[in-house]
Amino acid sequence: MQQDILINWSPQETRVAVVESGAVQELHVERSLERGLVGNVYLGRVSRVLPGMQSAFIDIGLERAAFLHVADLMSSVTARHAETDGGTPAPAIPIEKQVFEGQSLMVQVIKDPIGTKGARLSSQISIAGRLLVFLPQDQHIGVSQKIPLEQREALRRRLLQLAETASARGPTGGYILRTNGEDASDAELGEDMAYLRKTWSRIKEASLRLPPTSLLHQDLNLLQRVLRDLVSDVTQTIRIDSSEQFKSLQSFGAEFMPAAASKLQLYKGERPIFDLFGIDDEVARALGRRVELKSGGYLIIDQTEALTTVDVNTGGFVGARNFDETIFKTNLEAAGAIARQLRLRNLGGIIVADFIDMQREDHRDAVLNEFRKQLARDRVKTMVSGYSALGLVEMTRKRTRESLAHMLCEPCPVCEGKGNVKTARTVTYDILREILREARQFNPREFRVIASPSVIDVLQDEESQHLAGLSDFIGKPISLRSEMAMAQEQYDIVLL
């Protein structure tokens, strides 16, 4: 399998497409005005301590002071680790005995500002790498709880040995193995440790040099995360269409990730880089509900607040003799297509796939195995529970960021996200009932209906007899006015 990574950069937006065997598998988008603060490290200044709330407000140079709770202070975190590791936790120390107004404190954003609330902070710094999370102020060695329990202890011992070797060459600290580091080699883990230790050295140096409220470390932008998170052994090239960003990424990669940086190429073609593989067309299709399959079948994908549903359809009937085989082949193709759409659309949470019913047990097993095989290519953690009692395949996929649809779209202002609007006839009957309701409460000279052209057409044509009958019943004239700017469900009834 050959993989290429294409990067389209502009001052306002960075777009990254991961292409495998000519097909887009993933799309990542980052906009300069929407980039969050989570992961950023600041040298803050304590502006106020609130003993009653066991919290403090910290000035980190933002519009609103950020919030630090005693549970997120380093001493509290260390106590929790001691308890987890079987030791005796230190007694809780009140926040007023740990920080004071005017104090400089290194802090990290763990939750972005929302509405009128400031950012949430922690004084325990953690630096995320590709495979590991570095805890420079702690000696804790941990493993992601999403990794199966029976593998965790062996991985923890292995990580402990690597950490002891690394501490002889640089800053000491603790590490947490991330989920995608479960199958990493010692060399890959060692390279990640070296990158994290070098990053921490830079943060410490900046904290001694810069004044309070300064930004000491910003989490990697999307361009840099390409080298950290997306490049793998199967990646052939990383092509970028900006010479300025190409040089910047080369410099970053040469220092931290030389193996990944060696695959960088500057794209100089006349056509836009995303046109090479029709990526913009692919994005447009990824925002739709229907996905066509080569066999003639199709998928219907619906994303809701609670879960995502995927329905598989044959698209046609080819006769009783070949029907079972048609269903089987359609489901096999759908298994690969669903796995790809989950990556492309970045759909997370609970996902339910409704494959076409299969009578043969071997067909059901083959489709489920193919689905699991395709999902194994996903860099995001997935879990498939198999067929439910109703024949549905239930699974989960870890949420890493907003889905593509939530990032690029907003609810329709006409249907307000329902996906349907009332028919012109339904709106017409709503209007007739509203006029009758208003006539019982008020006594105007005339009622004037202002509505969309489609609704006015129905009132003037098919429902003209009912409109005239209503006018006679209430004893008032009813006039009509078409308004092009109104959506089909919108209308006004003006009392004159």
| DSSP states of 331-386 | HHHHHHHHHHHHHHHT--EEEEEEPPP-S-HHHHHHHHHHHHHHHTT-SS-EEEEE
Please tell me whether residues 294 and 389 are part of one structural domain: yes
Residue 229, classed as helix, strand or coil, is helix
**Residue 270's CATH number:** 3.30.420.60
Q: Where do we find the tokens 């980190």? A: 60
Confidence at residue 320, expressed as pLDDT on a 0 to 100 scale:
46
User: Does any domain span residue 82?
Assistant: no
Note whether 451 and 480 are same-domain residues.
Answer: yes
CA distance 4 to 338: 21
Question: Both 311 and 401 in a single domain?
Answer: yes
Cβ-Cβ contacts under 8 Å for 370 (sequence gap 6 or more)? 332, 335, 336
d(Cα 452, Cα 492) in Å, to the nearest integer? 10
Number of domains making up the chain:
4
3-state secondary structure of 321: helix
Domain final position from 408, 435, 464: 408
pTM of the model: 0.68
Adjacency order of strands within the sheet including 447-451 = 478-482, 447-451, 491-495
Q: How many CA atoms lie within 13 A of 416 on its CB side?
A: 4
Do 297 and 392 lie in one domain? The reply is yes
Q: Are residues 304 and 331 in the same domain?
A: yes
Which helix H or strand E contains 284, and what residues bound it? helix 279-286
| Alpha-carbon distances, residue 165 vs 138, 188, 209 (angstroms) | 16, 14, 30
Q: How far apart are CA 443 and CA 211, in angstroms?
A: 71
Q: How far is it, in rounded angstroms, from Cα 160 to Cα 299?
A: 47
Give the N- to C-terminal CA distance of the chain in Å, as an integer.
72
Q: Supply the pLDDT for residue 230.
A: 85
Asked if 392 and 438 sit in the same domain, the reply is no
One-letter amino acid for residue 303 of the chain: Q
Domain around 341? 289-408
Q: Where are the alpha helices (DSSP H) in 11-108?
A: 74-84
- Each of the 496 residues of the chain gets a pLDDT tens digit; together they read 788 999 999 888 999 999 988 888 889 888 877 777 888 999 999 999 999 999 999 999 988 899 999 999 876 555 545 554 555 555 678 999 999 999 999 999 988 787 678 889 999 999 988 789 999 988 888 988 778 788 888 898 888 888 888 776 666 789 999 876 887 888 888 888 888 888 899 999 999 999 999 999 988 888 988 988 888 878 899 999 999 999 999 998 887 778 888 999 999 988 889 888 888 888 888 888 898 888 888 899 998 878 899 999 887 655 445 778 888 888 999 999 999 999 988 888 899 999 988 888 899 999 999 999 999 888 788 889 888 888 899 999 987 667 888 878 887 877 777 778 899 999 999 999 999 999 988 888 999 999 999 999 999 999 899 999 999 999 999 999 999 989 899 999 999 8
CB atoms within 10 A of CB 319: 7
